[in-house]
Structure formats: C-alpha cells, structure tokens
Amino acid sequence: MSDIDYDLFVIGAGSGGVRAARMAAGFGAKVAIAEEQYMGGTCVNVGCVPKKLYVYASEFGKGFSDAREFGWQGEVQRFDWTTLRDNKKTEISRLNAIYRKLLSGVDADVIDGRATIINSNTVAVGDKHYTARKILIATGGWPHVPDFPGSDLAVSSNEIFDLDSFPERIVIVGGGYIAVEFAGIFNGLGARVTQLYRGPLFLRGFDADIRAHASQEIRKSGVDLRFETNVESITRSADGLQLTLTDGETLTADTVLYATGRKPNLEGLGLENVNVDLTATGSIAVDGDFQTSEPGVFALGDCTDTMELTPVALAEGMAFARKQFGAAQPSVDYEFIPTAVFCQPNIGTVGFTEDEARAEFGEVTLYKSVFRPMKHTISGRDEKTFMKLIVDSASDRVVGVHMMGPDAGEIIQGIAIALKAGATKAIFDSTIGIHPTAAEEFVTMREPWTED
C-alpha cells in the first residue's frame, strides 16, 4: 500500500481517540480523526465534565444551609436553572475548541462527519473515501433506554443537561453510578427526586458495605429511593408524565431520566464490511494490543469490554500509539484503578471489594470506621462518613480501600498510589496523619473489625 492517505485513521474524537491521534502524530505518523458530533466525546460534552459542574451547583444549597450554624445570616438563595445550563454550554464550547486546537497543533486532520468502515484500509465520511494503514475505532458508548410503553417520553443522560426548564419532580430509573449521581444533583438543586432500581440494592459491583451505607445516606438526604421497583409504562397527561410501576403504584413527574446502562456506540459503523468479532455483551473484542480480529483494525475505550472510565481510555490511547508508532511496548495495567461516584456525599474506591478479596486471597482482615465529619458537629447535618480497609492477612498488603464522605474522590486518588506501590497495613500505620482531616482516619485505624 504505497498510495495511502494516512498512517492512522481514528473514528471518534473522544478521550481515547484524541489521545491516540495526538500521540501517533507526535511520533511522526500522518493522522486523521473523524467525529460526527462533538469534540471531546462523552466525557467533555455529556459526561464527566458537565456532571461535575452540576454536582458543584447542587452542593451550594446544602452549604448555604450549613453556614447558618457557623454564624452566616442572610436571605435564602434561589436557584436558576437557565443560568447553570447556559454557563455550562459556554464552558463546553471552550473545551471543544481546545480539543480541536490540540489536534491541529500536531497536524492531525480533523474530519467532521460520520465515518463508516468500507474495508480494513478504507473509511468513508460522506461521499469521500480515505485510505489508511491502520484504523482505530474509538466511538465510545451510548445510553441505553429499554423499549416499553412510553419509553420515548423518557430522556437519557445525553439530554438531561439541557432541559428547557427545571423539573420540579423527576423520576430517575437505574442503579448505577450515573443514576445515583443525577439523583444527588437534582435533589441538591431542589427537585423532588424519586429513584427506582429493579434490584435489591443499587451500585452493583461496589463493595457491599459502601452500597449499604450509600443507601442510608442518600435516603437521609431526601431522595425517595425505591428498590425492587421498575416502570411498566409512561403516559403523558395534563399534570405531567404518569408512570405505572411494577408494584402497582403510580407516580407523576415532569421528567423521567433513564440511566439504565450504556452500550457500545457501533451502529452504522460498517462493521459488517470487516471481520471484527464482538463479545457476548456486544463490545468489540480486542487483544492486549487493541487489535481486533480484522488485521489493521483496532479499537479501544468504551466500545470495547474495558472499564468505562475516561482515564482508562486515555491510558489505552497512549499505549496504542506507543506500540504502533513509537519505540515502546507498553501495556495498560488495569489493577488498582481508582474511581469515584460523585453522589452526595462522594464515594471513592480502589482495589478489591470484600467479596473479591476473599475470593482472591482467602483470609482478609477488615478495618472500618463510621463517624460524623467535623464540619457537621456544628452544622448539625445528619451525615456520616464511612471508611473501610481490606488487608490480605497473609502478606499484610492493603488490597482494597473504600470511602463515602466529603472529598472521597480526592482522598482515594492519593491512596491509590499507595496500593499500586504495594503498601502494607504496617506502612499505613506508620504514616503520620494530617490533623484534623478525615483522610487521617486511614492511617489511624488500628483495631480489626469483627462481627458483633
């Protein structure tokens, strides 16, 4: 293939695709990247970034209330949805421009439009065809709303940020971190929030103690949390949206948000034109080098069966570029990847859950702590922080750390470094804490937890 247009053609300008394109171009490859929607992908436009901005907004109301007991007096503040929504749009537009500039800065060609794979070396965007030595699929995921009577009346996490008006009554369906986060956001902004989950306890995959503690704290915050409940149908009425539930009850809402999972964004990609195998879950199957079953076609990020986290996609994009166009032969280490749920209070976690640790190591030692944050000793807010250490008894290595409380994500990021380095409980114990902080509790828990 002497007469080709590009060394690498990337489909999807999200976190993983942009990182791979930039790195590959930096190594001297001729690169193009196609995007049909918005620069930066899910994270920048309808994910991490706007969500965190809305979390900040939702926390002010609680802060205003807490401040009174600290001596601050004044009028009750009023929330304006359009101000938040429109300021968010301005910030996202700024970030979109930055992503485009980052790509142009390394001479990567940005092609606006929907890309379709024609064969293992050809991609079509509109009526133009482009040839490439390597094709990288980085199309991410897409919200999945199940089909049921009235499902078209629900919105997904893609639309929820830009509603025309603020929903005074909102029903959120789902039990994953996205559903939990939006329940906290709209509850904090003043909406009447009902969260429905079909299972017995939400946040499946997280440590059981964190899940139980989260359900208590979220209920205390004012969210009407209902487990083992689902929606049978939604209809429109003069009073709003009428939901009929599986338990026979009905609800009325202004907005229904479905946060019931995401699927790989592969529709219309042209995979039928190449020999790309899918996994049982519908993701693109890849090996450790992100190679699909079709030579020359690669995939990474949320469209593959990987952890659906922006930093993971970034790491994969970097590893791909270094492997294919650089001198390095790196791989992504998926062990001890920290994550956070920006509910209120936050959840931060890294390493094994208790059940996973027992299955992996056998005997484990647990350390737990529940306490009221210092701030709330004066504010009077009924909120408790929970912390948990899981230790492999044989090696004394700390293999799991879980927290729900203010700034949990910030605290766990530092803890993750210790776990990656193989820190033992003895090292935690010998570390001097910063006083007074919540984080110091992780280095002062001395007594193993036992069942009463």
Domain-located, residue 317: yes
Integer CA distances (angstroms), 4 to 26, 121, 132, in order: 19, 9, 6
- DSSP characters over 258-272: E---EEE--TTS-GG
Q: Is 333 within a domain?
A: no
Give the pair of three-digit tokens for residue 51. 């969500």
Instruction: Look at residues 8, 43, 10, 38 and name the one whose alpha carbon lies nearest to residue 302.
Output: 43
Q: What is the mean pLDDT of residues 175-182?
A: 98
- Return the HEC string of 386-400: EEEEEEECCCCEEEE
Of the candidates 146, 150, 147, 125, which has an alpha carbon nearest to the alpha carbon of residue 135? 125
Going by pLDDT thresholds of 50, 70 and 90, the confidence category of residue 76 is confident
> Average pLDDT in the 437-446 region?
97
Candidate list 144, 213, 402, 435, residue with the active-site label: 435
- How are strands ordered across the β-sheet holding 364-371? 339-341, 347-351, 398-404, 385-392, 364-371
**Residue after which a domain boundary falls, among 294, 325, 356:** 325
Is the confidence at residue 413, as pLDDT, over 60? yes
pLDDT confidence of 2, banded at 50, 70, 90? Answer: low
In a domain, 181, yes or no: yes
Does residue 451 carry a pLDDT above 80? no
Angle between helix axes 48-67 and 81-105 (nearest 10 degrees) is 140
Q: What angle do CA 242, 248, 250 make, to 5 degrees?
A: 20
In a domain, 11, yes or no: yes
User: Residue 304: which region, alpha, beta or left (left: phi > 0; alpha: psi -120 to 50)?
Assistant: beta
3-state secondary structure of 46: helix
Give the model's pLDDT for residue 74.
85
Residue 137, in any domain of the structure: yes
In a domain, 451, yes or no: no
Which amino acid is located at 328 in the chain?
Answer: A
Residues 99 and 73 in one domain: yes
Per-residue confidence (pLDDT) for residue 291, from 0 to 100: 98
Residues 62 and 130 in one domain: yes
pLDDT of 191: 98
Q: Do 88 and 233 lie in a common domain?
A: no
The per-residue pLDDT for 119 is 97
Q: Are residues 292 and 349 in the same domain?
A: no
402 lies in the same domain as 360: yes
Counting residues of the chain whose pLDDT is more than 90, the rounded percentage is 97
**In which band, very low, low, confident or very high, does the pLDDT at 175 lie, cut at 50, 70 and 90?**
very high
- Helix ranges (DSSP H) in 129-204: 177-189
* pLDDT exceeds cutoff 60 at 211: yes
Q: Are residue 390 and residue 295 in the same domain, yes or no?
A: no
Instruction: Render pLDDT for 13-26 as a digit per residue (tens, 0 to 9).
Output: 999 999 999 999 99
| Long-range contacts formed by 84-91: CB under 8 A, 24+ apart | 84/53, 84/54, 84/57, 85/161, 85/162, 85/163, 88/50, 88/53, 88/54, 88/161, 89/162, 91/49, 91/53
Q: Give the residue ranges of DSSP H helices in 120-207.
A: 177-189
Residue type, 247: D
Q: Quote the number of domains for the chain.
A: 3
Of residues 148, 147, 146, 144, the one with CA closest to residue 232? 148
**C-alpha dist (Å) from residue 179 to 122, 188, 197, 321, 338:** 39, 14, 9, 34, 20
Residue 77 scores a pLDDT above 90: no
User: What per-residue confidence (pLDDT) applies to 330?
Assistant: 78
Q: Over 70: is that where the pLDDT of 224 sits?
A: yes
Provide the residue range defining the domain that includes 49.
Answer: 6-143+263-325
**Residue 183 and residue 215 in one domain:** yes
| CATH assignment at residue 164 | 3.50.50.60
Q: What is the pTM of this model?
A: 0.96
Same domain, 253 and 382: no
The residues, ordered by sequence, that sit 6+ positions from 205 with a Cβ below 8 Å of its Cβ are 353
Identify the pLDDT of residue 170: 98
With a cut of 90, say whether residue 203 has pLDDT above it. Answer: yes
- 189: Cα within 13 Å, side-chain hemisphere: 27
Name the 3-class secondary structure at 404.
strand
Which class for 211: exposed (0-12), middle (13-18), buried (19 or more C-beta within 10 A)? Answer: buried
Say yes or no: 108 and 177 in one domain. Answer: no
Helix (H, G, I), strand (E, B) or coil at 310: helix
Q: What is the CATH number of the domain that holds 380?
A: 3.30.390.30
pLDDT score at 452? 66
Residue 197 domain flag: yes
pLDDT tens-place string over residues 351-373: 999 999 999 999 999 999 999 99
Per DSSP bridges, beta strands 31-35 and 109-112 are parallel
- Say if CB 172 and CB 182 are below 8 A apart: yes
> In the annotation, is 376 catalytic?
no
**Nearest in space to 7 (alpha carbons), one of 21, 301, 99, 126:** 21
Over the stretch 124-171, which tens digit does the pLDDT of each residue have? 999 999 999 999 999 999 999 999 999 999 999 999 999 999 999 999
User: Which of 217, 235, 260 lies at the terminal end of a domain, its last residue?
Assistant: 260
Residue 118 has pLDDT above 70, yes or no: yes
Same domain flag for 155 and 247: yes
- Name the pLDDT band for 380 (thresholds 50, 70, 90): very high
Residues 313-353 pLDDT 10s:
999 999 999 999 998 877 899 999 999 999 999 999 999 99
- Three-class SS of residue 109? strand
Is residue 330, in this structure, part of any structural domain at all?
Answer: no
- Per residue in 238-284, pLDDT (tens digit) is 999 999 999 999 999 999 999 999 999 999 999 999 999 999 999 99
- The answer to whether residue 225 scores a pLDDT higher than 80 is yes
Q: Looking at the structure, do residues 241 and 312 belong to the same domain, yes or no?
A: no
Whether residue 434 sits in one domain with residue 391: yes
Q: 194 pairs with which residues across the strands?
A: 171, 224
Where is the domain boundary, 260, 280, 314?
260
How many angstroms separate the Cα of 392 from the Cα of each of 109, 368, 396? 50, 15, 5
Question: Which position has the token pair 């990288």?
Answer: 136
pLDDT confidence of residue 328 = 80
Task: Report the candidate in 43, 344, 309 with the shortest Cα–Cα distance to residue 180.
Answer: 344
pLDDT band, very low/low/confident/very high, at 3 (cuts 50, 70, 90):
confident
pLDDT at residue number 327: 82
Q: Using pLDDT thresholds of 50, 70 and 90, give the confidence band for residue 98.
A: very high
The Cα 135–Cα 142 span in angstroms is 21
